[in-house]
Chain A
Amino acid sequence: MKKITGFIASKVVTPIWLIKESFLLAKSALLNNKLRSFLSLLGVTIGIFSVILVFTFIDGLERSIKESVESIGGKVVYIQKWPWAFGEDYPWWKYLERPVPKYAEWNDLKKQLPSDEYAVAYSVNIFSQKPIKYNKNSVSDYRIIGCTYDFSLLKKVNFLSGRYFLDGEFNQGKNVVILGYSIAKTLFDNPKYALNNDVSLNGRKLKVIGVMTKEGKNIFSSSLDECILMPYLFIAKFFSVKEEGANPYIAVKPLVDIEESKMLSTLEIQMRKIRRLKPNEENDFALNQSSLIEKNTGSMFSVLSIAGWIIGGFSILVSAFGIANIMFVSVKERVPLIGVQKALGATKVFILLQFLIEAIILSLLGGMIGLLITWLAIWLLQPYIDLSIKLSATNILLAINISLLTGIISGFIPAYSAAQLDPVESMRAS
């Protein structure tokens, strides 16, 4: 029993007591030199502020891009005339000759692809100047999306009121319309009143069957707030939808887990068949992947992260030297005290911990103030920027990590040199 209590006392109680005593000594040393402590922690504060602010902005941008990619349909492949990415030595004149995807091609592709594996939609996007009217209210700068039934499978359409089109309304090209939130608000003041009313476009009456919820802005300007949705076959009656200006595309989304490469090759084969391309002929269509946008922006964020590290890293480095310097001064000042402590039986570890904990407290305090300033800066900047930025748990943990490591690294050498001091020599020093 005595052995067990002895073991607990030496291995558990003593280290805890050692850390507690070291902490109290470090605290009193810091409080006795308030100005010096404050100045030395200022460097860490600025470093943490710069690094975490940059990282918070990067996180916000990344989130915004992810949401935007989802808004145009995640994992969707768009069959279009023009590719989204242009490489070097790009033969643009070849692409000019290409035909735009046609409704008949969508029909053929839909028949070729298994319906339980792929959702295939055809859509045109017309930026219209023709006013859409309700009584005296009108909107004249908006986007018309003429789509087929599968459109809702590619892009989630959320409703404030009403419903999505019925299959029959598409097939018969009925004069029905779903309004984007901003358009419904302008025309009806309260978007909820729009349902079952008739709006007019180009002299034709359209029955409002639904109003979409507010989406807000995104970086691709693909928000549905300023759009109206209509069945393709209806819009084809009075708009020239076969021209390039209508931005026609076929969009394909996998409904089951299919490898991206497999999906791309399937689409390529089917489209080549539909367009009757010979084996030696190049593709006359582009397969654009929404997921590529997210992948390509990854490298941009890496560069931004490096920039963040360079900005904040130098500040943290300078602050680490500052803390190390202050700690050396602190050791020098307390040499006689260290001598007395050692003469009274203080171990090397106890002396080392005193100074190391002092450096860690300084650094952590600096980091906390840096985090607080970052949070304040975000709070002040948020109303003026069009991006949702939040101080995430990851970044808070990162700030604590950096502060802790800066404290350990900058404080260890002075603390170790203090622990190595000779008690007799130290007591003699004045």
Chain B
Amino acid sequence: MKRPLIITLFCVAAWLWLFIMFPSIFSPETKKISLLLPSLYGIIIALQFIGLVGIWHMKKWGLEWFIILLFIKNLIDNFVTNNSEASVNFELPLSFIVWLVSSILIAAFFYKKMSKGF
């Protein structure tokens, strides 16, 4: 299936977002939390990039991958940055909501038209 314009725009915007995110994962603040955290965030960003390649090629696994990784990253963010010994405060940052809503909208309109397999 020919890639719809909306998916092209989604992928380009998401790639730009990942590009902007890239330096922040190695920021001194992240390093202070844990030495392994930048590596973990790095892997997530690389996998999200791969997921976007899948979406670009209209593959179901790409969209699934992208959404799952959004949740994983948000979960890690919440655990490492907002928690105290007493409680964990779950927050939903704006970027997470924006990307989640856009991904769900893409899934609602185009998931069935996407192809299975690698």
Using A313-B23, A398-B38, A412-B53 as known contacts, say yes or no to A405 and B46 having CB atoms under 8 A apart. Answer: yes
Query: Which chain B positions have C-beta within 8 A of A317?
Result: 19
Q: How far is A305 from B29 in the complex, measured between Cα atoms in Å?
A: 11
Instruction: Let me know if A402 is at the binding interface, CB within 8 A.
Output: yes
Instruction: Let me know if B66 is at the binding interface, CB within 8 A.
Output: no
Instruction: Let me know if B94 is at the binding interface, CB within 8 A.
Output: no
Q: How far is A393 from B35 in the complex, measured between Cα atoms in Å?
A: 9
Nearest A residue to B32, CB-CB: A394
Once the chains bind, are A409 and B23 in contact (CB under 8 Å)? no
A386-419 toward B: CB 8 Å interface, digit per residue (1/0)? 0000000110011001101100110011001001
Once the chains bind, are A397 and B39 in contact (CB under 8 Å)? yes
B46-78 toward A: CB 8 Å interface, digit per residue (1/0)? 100110010001000000000000000000000
Q: How far is A301 from B32 in the complex, measured between Cα atoms in Å?
A: 14
Nearest A residue to B27, CB-CB: A305
Instruction: Let me know if A302 is at the binding interface, CB within 8 A.
Output: yes
B10-35 toward A: CB 8 Å interface, digit per residue (1/0)? 00000000010011001110010001
Once the chains bind, are A301 and B28 in contact (CB under 8 Å)? yes
Residues of A contacting B: mostly: helix
Residues of B contacting A: mostly: helix
Using A313-B23, A416-B53 as known contacts, say yes or no to A349 and B45 having CB atoms under 8 A apart. Answer: no
Query: Which chain A positions have C-beta within 8 A of B109?
Result: none
8 A Cβ contacts from A258-304 to B: 301-302
A296-331 toward B: CB 8 Å interface, digit per residue (1/0)? 000001100110010001000100000000000000
Using A394-B31, A397-B35 as known contacts, say yes or no to A349 and B26 having CB atoms under 8 A apart. Answer: no
8 A Cβ contacts from A53-97 to B: none
Q: How far is A301 from B23 in the complex, measured between Cα atoms in Å?
A: 15
Q: How far is A305 from B30 in the complex, measured between Cα atoms in Å?
A: 13
Q: Count residues of chain B with CB under 8 A from any CB of chain A.
A: 18
Instruction: Let me know if A348 is at the binding interface, CB within 8 A.
Output: yes
Once the chains bind, are B46 and A394 in contact (CB under 8 Å)? no
Once the chains bind, are A305 and B28 in contact (CB under 8 Å)? yes
Least CB distance, B43 to chain A, in whole angstroms: 8
Q: Specify which of B28, B39, B57 is in contact with A302 (CB 8 Å cutoff).
A: B28
Least CB distance, B50 to chain A, in whole angstroms: 6
Q: How far is A420 from B46 in the complex, measured between Cα atoms in Å?
A: 20
Least CB distance, A248 to chain B, in whole angstroms: 38
Query: Which chain B positions have C-beta within 8 A of A401?
Result: 26, 38-39, 42
Using A301-B28, A349-B118, A401-B26 as known contacts, say yes or no to A394 and B35 having CB atoms under 8 A apart. Answer: yes
A209-238 toward B: CB 8 Å interface, digit per residue (1/0)? 000000000000000000000000000000
Query: Which chain A positions have C-beta within 8 A of B31?
Result: 394, 398
A96-136 toward B: CB 8 Å interface, digit per residue (1/0)? 00000000000000000000000000000000000000000
Q: How far is A340 from B34 in the complex, measured between Cα atoms in Å?
A: 47
Query: Which chain B positions have C-beta within 8 A of A302?
Result: 27-28
Q: How far is A212 from B57 in the complex, measured between Cα atoms in Å?
A: 71
Nearest B residue to A356, CB-CB: B50
Q: Specify which of A393, A402, A416 is in contact with B26 (CB 8 Å cutoff).
A: A402
A233-267 toward B: CB 8 Å interface, digit per residue (1/0)? 00000000000000000000000000000000000
Q: Specify which of A301, A313, A408, A413 is in contact with B46 (CB 8 Å cutoff).
A: A408
Query: Which chain A positions have C-beta within 8 A of B46?
Result: 405, 408-409
Once the chains bind, are B42 and A405 in contact (CB under 8 Å)? yes
Nearest B residue to A316, CB-CB: B22
Once the chains bind, are B35 and A404 in contact (CB under 8 Å)? no
Q: How far is A412 from B45 in the complex, measured between Cα atoms in Å?
A: 13
Once the chains bind, are B26 and A398 in contact (CB under 8 Å)? yes
Q: How far is A317 from B50 in the complex, measured between Cα atoms in Å?
A: 17
A159-171 toward B: CB 8 Å interface, digit per residue (1/0)? 0000000000000
Query: Which chain A positions have C-beta within 8 A of B26?
Result: 309, 398, 401-402
Query: Which chain A positions have C-beta within 8 A of B35?
Result: 393-394, 397
Nearest A residue to B38, CB-CB: A401
8 A Cβ contacts from B98-112 to A: none
Once the chains bind, are A404 and B28 in contact (CB under 8 Å)? no
Least CB distance, B71 to chain A, in whole angstroms: 21
Nearest B residue to A419, CB-CB: B118
Using A313-B23, A398-B26, A401-B26 as known contacts, say yes or no to A412 and B49 having CB atoms under 8 A apart. Answer: yes
Q: A317-B19, A419-B118 are in contact. List 12 more A-B contacts (CB 8 A).
A: A301-B28, A313-B22, A397-B35, A401-B26, A402-B26, A402-B42, A405-B22, A405-B46, A408-B49, A409-B49, A412-B50, A416-B57
Q: Which residues of A contact B (CB under 8 A)?
A: 301-302, 305-306, 309, 313, 317, 348-349, 393-394, 397-398, 401-402, 404-405, 408-409, 412-413, 416, 419-420
13 pairs, A vs B, C-beta closer than 8 Å = A305-B27, A305-B28, A313-B22, A313-B23, A394-B35, A397-B38, A398-B26, A398-B38, A405-B42, A408-B46, A409-B49, A412-B50, A420-B57
